[in-house]
Amino acid sequence: MENKTKKKVNKIFEKIISVFMILILVMAPVSVSFSFSSIEVSAQEQRGCCLDTGPPSNKQCVTTTKAECQGRFYTGPPYDCSNIPDCKPQTCIPKNKKEPCMRNKAAAECIAIGGVPDPRALEEIPQCKPGCCIIAKGVKAEVLQYRQCEELTKTLGYDLSMMEFKEGIVDEVECKKIGSPYDLGCCVLGGGDCRYGTRASCTEGSFVPLAGGLFCRDVAACALTSHSYKDCGKLPGTETDIYWFDSQGNQEDLAESCNYPEAICEKSELGTVYCKSTRCDLSAAKGSQKMSERPPKVEVTELPTTSLLTGTSICYNFYTHYGDNRMLERSTGLQNQILHCNFGKVEIEGLGTDRQKLCVPATVSDESPGATFHANVKENKWQNCSQCGKGGALDFLGDFVGPFPPVGRGLNALFGEYCTKEACENYGDCVYMEKTPSLLVTAPVASCVPKYPPGTASLHTSATECGKCGGGVADLWNLCSKEECLALGDCQFRSYGTVEKWAIGALLTYSSFIVGRIVWIPVDCLIAGPTVYAKAGGIPTCYKLRYNSWWFKSITEPFKLISWIAKNPLASVTTIITTASAFMGLFQKIK
Amino acid sequence: MRKRGKKGQVTLFIIIAIVVVSIALLVIFLWPQISGLFMSKEAAEQYLATQAIQLQKTISECIEKESLRAFDIIGKQAGYYDKTGLRTLYFAGNDYVVVMFKNEAKQRINKLPSLGQIENEYQLFLVKEGNEAIDKCINLAAFKRNMNVDAGERKINAMIYPDVIILNVDWPIKLSKTTTQGTVEKLINQQQIMLLLPFGNLWRTANTIVDCETRVDCNFEGIEWDRDIWNNPFRSQYISKEARSLNKDQIVFILESSPYRPGELPHKFNFAIDRS
């Protein structure tokens, strides 16, 4: 019986094992393939530097996954190809000579487009040097690189000996003036056809030299009507003015000077030509913001001009709404801008709503093209303003005793770094915001804040920056004011409630009384020690009594102060002075 | 018996009606071919000449339309059709391709494509979607209803100039029409197409900005911007620039051409730089 049961159990056990073995056999290849495929996927998804993605995208030296890379693939770090010699930035000399040399192209990319990478700087490569390219004594005058000049000369069908290259001249107008054609005349093509131009350009006809206001119309062999229509000058150096043209399209004498850069010849879509003013009309601009003497208050100032010449620029700045009734909300989105004038169109260069870049008028020392107005960019160095007066190990103590006479200022300086107006301004674009003035020997309550409130749009520390409000000199007594709040950046001021104000006021008054007493004890005991406490032990006894008696009592039993004041008139007077100074600060805060 | 006879008559009439309608439809549908069969050779030649002009015009318009779309995409993506592997900056709902950045070794890298590379990006556009869109637009099947159209391999090359883009279209097409008098053939090729698009000047402006930014001592802002206008009045006249700083190191540039020729449309070239 027992044997039978055992056999049955064994059979069941064998069955279970066999099923388990089958499962292992079935699952093993699946799991192995799964594990291999996951390795494959992770390898394919690994990012690194790809030397060439291959067709169709054909990108060289890009950070991508191995799956998207057909060329050599380098795993990082660094992942951005910076340590791959083939991706080193070099000057690229393209294969097509019509194209200019390009700076800092990855060598592999340059080679991929058939170019030649050159480790030298662009200016050091003779064929890449920019300059004024004058072809055939003024048939063409353009600012190009040397190799492009050579190519253009050949394309126009001239021998390279007809090419003149004036290195370093990169001003289009200057180049065209230098390259303005001379040796002008009329090319008689026969059958009454004529073409006005240089001797060099007359390859298909007989050249009749002309000078002193003579044109093809003065040549008998030319059958044409003079002053047929007006157009912008076509010959190099004449493009800015309006000229007469004959019926065969030959340029004749000047019809109207546009007095460039004031105006330039323009052809409308209907084909009529006119002198188009290059000036930009700024009369619609309402005015820019300027920081007042007491930032963050701003003043709205008129723009320095209502009409801007082409190629010049002015600042158009916005910092905060404070003091400017046109804007009633916080300073989100406000930025410094540069308005550039480009042939009657105003181009806006926004310097960022984080206000890390500021627009300032260019100084005289700046090399300025043209004349009059130019704007420049400077960095807003506000980041270290809040560091003024910080850094000492015992800052807390210094800040605590700072506003109290007679030794507040001295103790403040002793316990930590002391922030003055001069020190604050040395921290960058910072301004000293005094809340309670210094009374001879007391430290003021003040903050060192950014002169130009930074925007906090893209700053990760916006909350931290706004939270620094009321954290300046004597920051225990420094309450956050609206001015300071707005000066710190894109912050919103929330004023204290009436109950809050009186609670803080009472606490401050009481604290200042106590602190006032503490800081006056040395003076008090210098007088009372040798007189009142002469018999009881002098100054040490005075100290002991002062610290052990009323100090603790005034904390635990404030009403005892009244009886103490009645008994100690001298000490009371000094304490009242101290309290008054604290009140002044408080009053300013509440106001 | 009578009933059955009537039923048979009705069925016969229906069958005849179906046959007649089918023949009519077939004739209407195949009428161009059928009528063409009875054309004289001269009339067929004349017909092919007219159709050739129509076909060339359609091809030209379709290629122009799709190419303008291509360069619109390419312009807005800093000269690239395919942005794979390129860095981008997100600003105001758009991704801008970063064409100048510092790598981890603090070297400034210039990713602005050369004009040759842009021409290749146009080819990529054709492969990916342009050719299909052009075929759909031309609809050769409609022309094939009236004549035989044997189209060869199509090659379109773009050449970028300062003021225009020239498209060289190489697409030989043999048109033929069979008449009772024989088969008339006409071989056509396509003309150059000119896009009124100052892409070369837009690129040159972008290249000036990137060239400055790749130099250690040059930031294209303030006075450098003025200098570019001052030094290049003939290019700057019809190109306007706009810059938006995301922060002190990341700037998005939006260049736009101002149309000054009949039929010209404004065109954009957008890119970003990252000095961080």
The 10s digit of each residue's pLDDT in A243-255 is 999 999 999 999 9
Q: Is the CB of residue B62 less than 8 Å away from at least one CB of chain A?
A: no
pLDDT in tens, A152-163: 999 998 999 999
Distance of alpha carbon A151 from alpha carbon A96, whole angstroms: 9
- Give the DSSP H or E segment for A512: helix A498-528
Q: Which residues of B touch A86 (CB under 8 A)?
A: none
Structure tokens at A346: 């105003």
Does residue A525 surpass a pLDDT of 70? yes
Q: If pLDDT is split at 50, 70 and 90, which confidence band does A256 have? A: very high
| Cβ–Cβ < 8 Å for A450, A491 | no
Q: Which residue has the tokens 């916006």?
A: A462
pLDDT at position A366 is 52
Work out how many CB contacts closer than 8 A connect A with B.
194
Give the pLDDT mean for A272-283. Answer: 92
Interchain contact, A374 vs B244, CB within 8 Å: no
pLDDT in tens, A407-452: 677 777 777 777 888 999 999 999 999 887 777 667 777 889 999 9
pLDDT at position A429 is 92
Whether residues A408 and A364 share a domain: the answer is no
- Residue A573 makes CB contacts below 8 A (sequence gap 6+) with none
A211, A246, A277: which is the final residue of a domain? A277
| Cβ–Cβ < 8 Å for A391, A412 | no
Q: If pLDDT is split at 50, 70 and 90, which confidence band does B112 have? A: very high
Angle in degrees, CA B201, B202, B206, rounded to 5: 115
| Cβ–Cβ < 8 Å for B161, B37 | no
Higher pLDDT, A296 or B152: B152
- Average pLDDT of every residue of chain A: 81
Interchain contact, B114 vs A113, CB within 8 Å: yes
Angle in degrees, CA A174, B209, A84, rounded to 5: 130
A241, A258, A277: which is the final residue of a domain? A277
Give the pLDDT mean for B249-268. Answer: 93
Beta strands A47-52 and A60-65, pairing class: antiparallel
Whether residues A483 and A527 share a domain: the answer is no
Whether A11 is in a domain gets the answer: no
Q: Is the CB of residue A132 less than 8 Å away from at least one CB of chain B?
A: no
The dihedrals phi and psi of A185, each to the nearest 5 degrees, come to: -175, -170
Does residue A69 surpass a pLDDT of 60? yes
Does residue B39 surpass a pLDDT of 80? no
Structure tokens at B130: 């342009």
Give the pLDDT mean for B242-259. Answer: 94
Q: If pLDDT is split at 50, 70 and 90, which confidence band does A458 have? A: very low
Looking at residue A473, the DSSP 8-state letter turns out to be B
Higher pLDDT, B263 or A509: B263
Q: Of A307-316, A516-525, B89-98, which gets the smallest average pLDDT?
A: A516-525
Whether residues A253 and A315 share a domain: the answer is no
Task: Please report the sign of the dihedral spanned by the C-alpha atoms of residue B134, residue B137, residue B138, residue B142.
Answer: positive
Distance of alpha carbon B148 from alpha carbon A231, whole angstroms: 49
Whether residues A198 and A139 share a domain: the answer is no
Range from A76-80, A246-250, B34-38, B72-76 that averages highest in pLDDT: B72-76
Whether residues A372 and A391 share a domain: the answer is no
The CA–CA distances, whole Å, from A430 to A144, A170, A519 equal: 46, 41, 32
Whether residues A51 and A138 share a domain: the answer is no
Of B104, B236, B246, the CB nearest to A82: B104
| Cβ–Cβ < 8 Å for B270, B78 | yes
| Cβ–Cβ < 8 Å for B191, B238 | no
Q: If pLDDT is split at 50, 70 and 90, which confidence band does A531 have? A: confident
Whether A31 is in a domain gets the answer: no
Looking at residue A269, the DSSP 8-state letter turns out to be T
Determine the residue of chain A that is closest to B240 in CA distance: A347
| Cβ–Cβ < 8 Å for B39, B147 | no
CA distance to partner chain A, nearest, from residue B217 (Å): 13
Distance of alpha carbon A58 from alpha carbon B121, whole angstroms: 9
- Give the DSSP H or E segment for A247: none
What's the pTM value of the predicted model, to 2 decimals?
Answer: 0.80
pLDDT at position A576 is 65
Interchain contact, B222 vs A239, CB within 8 Å: no
Whether A354 is in a domain gets the answer: yes
Give the pLDDT mean for B136-155. Answer: 90
Distance of alpha carbon A299 from alpha carbon A293, whole angstroms: 9
Stretch 198-257 of chain B: residues touching chain A, C-beta under 8 Å: 207, 210-211, 214-215, 219, 221-223, 225-227, 229-237, 240-248
Range from A176-190, A340-354, A444-458, A575-589 that averages highest in pLDDT: A340-354
Interchain contact, B242 vs A347, CB within 8 Å: yes
pLDDT in tens, A313-348: 999 998 887 766 655 557 888 899 999 999 999 999
Does residue A306 surpass a pLDDT of 70? yes
Which residue type, as a one-letter code, is found at position B66? Answer: E
Interchain contact, A64 vs B226, CB within 8 Å: no
Interchain contact, A377 vs B222, CB within 8 Å: yes
Give the pLDDT mean for B150-175. Answer: 94
- Average pLDDT of every residue of chain B: 91
Stretch 262-281 of chain A: residues touching chain B, C-beta under 8 Å: 264, 267, 269
Angle in degrees, CA A331, A333, A338, rounded to 5: 110
Stretch 79-138 of chain B: residues touching chain A, C-beta under 8 Å: 82, 84-86, 100, 103-105, 107-110, 112, 114-117, 120, 124, 127-128
pLDDT at position B169 is 95
CA distance to partner chain A, nearest, from residue B43 (Å): 40
Percent over 90 (pLDDT), chain B: 68
Whether A452 is in a domain gets the answer: yes
Does residue A280 surpass a pLDDT of 80? yes
Q: Which residue has the tokens 């031309």?
A: B138
Q: Which residues of B touch A104 (CB under 8 A)?
A: 100, 107-110, 214
pLDDT at position B178 is 84
Q: Which residue has the tokens 């290259």?
A: A165
Secondary-structure percent of chain B, ordered helix, strand, coil, rounded to 5:
45, 25, 30
Percent over 90 (pLDDT), chain A: 32
Distance of alpha carbon A26 from alpha carbon A513, whole angstroms: 87
Q: Is the CB of residue A195 less than 8 Å away from at least one CB of chain B?
A: no
pLDDT at position A284 is 85
Of B219, B233, B241, the CB nearest to A264: B233
Interchain contact, B103 vs A81, CB within 8 Å: yes
Whether A19 is in a domain gets the answer: no
Distance of alpha carbon A206 from alpha carbon A403, whole angstroms: 97
Q: How far apart are the two ends of chain B, measured CA to CA in Å?
A: 101
pLDDT at position B88 is 96
Report the SS3 class of residue A31: helix
Of A88, A352, A379, the CB nearest to B246: A352
pLDDT at position A37 is 40
pLDDT at position A414 is 74
Beta strands A336-342 and A313-317, pairing class: antiparallel
Whether A2 is in a domain gets the answer: no
Does residue B68 surpass a pLDDT of 80? yes
Domain count, chain A: 7
pLDDT at position A146 is 96
pLDDT at position B130 is 96
| Cβ–Cβ < 8 Å for A216, A196 | yes
pLDDT in tens, A22-43: 555 445 444 444 343 433 445 5
Whether residues A502 and A538 share a domain: the answer is yes
Whether residues A400 and A460 share a domain: the answer is yes
Whether A375 is in a domain gets the answer: yes
Does residue A507 surpass a pLDDT of 80? no
Whether A13 is in a domain gets the answer: no
Q: Which residue has the tokens 């009045």?
A: B233
Distance of alpha carbon A239 from alpha carbon B233, whole angstroms: 11
Mutation target among A152, A266, A343, A354 for the B interface, most CBs of B within 10 A: A343
Interchain contact, B226 vs A351, CB within 8 Å: no
Distance of alpha carbon A441 from alpha carbon A578, whole angstroms: 12
CA distance to partner chain A, nearest, from residue B261 (Å): 6
Q: Which residue has the tokens 């005793």?
A: A401
CB atoms within 10 A of CB A405: 18
Whether residues A266 and A340 share a domain: the answer is no
Closest of A323, A329, A284 to residue A306, by C-alpha: A284
pLDDT at position A36 is 39
pLDDT in tens, B196-241: 999 999 999 999 999 999 998 899 998 899 999 999 999 999 999 9
- Give the DSSP H or E segment for B254: strand B250-257
Interchain contact, B84 vs A310, CB within 8 Å: no
pLDDT at position B136 is 95
pLDDT in tens, A200-216: 888 888 999 887 778 99
Largest CA-CA distance found in chain A, in angstroms, rounded:
141
Task: Please report the sign of the dihedral spanned by the C-alpha atoms of residue A45, residue A50, residue A54, residue A55.
Answer: positive
pLDDT at position A31 is 45
Q: Of A374-378, A433-437, B154-158, which gets the smallest average pLDDT?
A: A433-437
Give the pLDDT mean for A108-123. Answer: 94
Interchain contact, B236 vs A369, CB within 8 Å: no
Q: Is the CB of residue A57 less than 8 Å away from at least one CB of chain B?
A: yes
Determine the residue of chain A that is closest to B223 in CA distance: A376
Cis peptide bond N-terminal to A296, omega within 30: yes
A379, A413, A441: which is the final residue of a domain? A379
pLDDT at position A43 is 56
Whether residues A315 and A370 share a domain: the answer is yes
Q: Which residue has the tokens 């981008």?
A: B88
Q: Of A269-283, A370-384, B66-80, B132-146, which gets the smallest average pLDDT?
A: A370-384
Q: Of A350-364, B50-64, B186-200, which gets the smallest average pLDDT?
A: A350-364
Q: Which residues of A touch B225 (CB under 8 A)?
A: 313, 338, 340, 347, 349
The CA–CA distances, whole Å, from B273 to A559, B90, B109, B257 equal: 69, 12, 10, 20
Interchain contact, A375 vs B223, CB within 8 Å: yes
Of B85, B235, B259, the CB nearest to A53: B85
Mutation target among A83, A309, A347, A490 for the B interface, most CBs of B within 10 A: A347
| Cβ–Cβ < 8 Å for A470, A480 | yes
Q: Is the CB of residue B263 less than 8 Å away from at least one CB of chain A?
A: no
Whether residues A108 and A136 share a domain: the answer is no
HSE (side-chain half, CA atoms, 13 Å) at A97: 11
Report the SS3 class of residue A511: helix
pLDDT in tens, A466-503: 888 887 776 667 778 888 888 888 888 877 777 766 77
Structural domain boundaries enclosing A342 = 281-379
